[in-house]
Amino acid sequence: MGVRAKSEVLVIVPCGLSKIWDKNPNAGPTLARDVYTGSPFKLNRQYAERFGTKWIILSAKYGFILPDFEIPEAYEVTFKRKASNPVSRELLKMQVKDQGLEQFSMIIGLGGKEYRLAIDDAFQGQSVAINFPFAGLPIGKAMQATKIAILKSIP
């Protein structure tokens, strides 16, 4: 990703449970932006595209990935179940550095508690502002607040 101007905003969107292979098992390798098919991901993606200079996905399996990252096949990994073997905090920290994610002036993190913790851990020690605008809200309320934020930003 390289070095960025300090006025850029990165929005981190959590991956989702519902994936393209649930409805189309023969979909084959698919770009990350098209893999996650659930309402929360779609809404978070809209938010990211509206408010972010750039956006990435935090996948419990692959870590921080670009929307055009190709995911080869279905997987079931979650931060909520350690037994599913989610990506390590150490790898996330390495990806922040390798991808230059700490160069953004603002990071907006979306998603539930597990994703917030992963993002906080990954950026620990970096001098970047991180904002979780919908932190602490149950999923339904968070989705409603996200929708309202998007609608208010439309001219």
Around Cβ 118, how many Cβ atoms within 10 Å? 24
- For the segment(s) 9-153, the CATH number from 3.30.420, 3.40.50, 2.60.120, 3.40.390 is 3.40.50
Instruction: Output the pLDDT for position 6.
Output: 55
Q: Which pTM does this prediction carry? A: 0.92
CB atoms within 10 A of CB 56: 23
Structure-block tokens of residue 5: 């101007």
pLDDT in tens, the chain (155 residues): 454 555 799 999 999 999 999 999 999 999 999 999 999 999 999 999 999 999 999 999 999 999 999 999 999 999 989 999 999 999 999 999 999 999 999 999 999 999 999 999 999 999 899 999 999 999 899 999 999 999 998 87
Match 């979780």 to its residue by tokens.
132
102 token code pair: 């700490």
Helices (H) and strands (E) in the chain, counts: 6, 7
**How far are the Cα atoms of 22, 39, 43, 103, 146 from residue 140, in angstroms, in the given order?**
22, 11, 12, 32, 10
Q: Which amino acid is at 12?
A: I
Q: Which residues contact 113 (CB under 8 A, 6 or more apart)?
A: none
Alpha carbon 21 to its chain centroid, in Å, reads 20
Q: What is the pLDDT of residue 153?
A: 87
Domain ranges of the chain: 9-153
CB 61 within 8 A of CB 77: yes
Cα–Cα distance between 43 and 151 in angstroms, integer?
12
Cβ atoms within 10 Å of 131's Cβ, excluding its own: 12
106-to-23, 59, 100, 127 alpha-carbon distances in Å: 36, 20, 13, 10
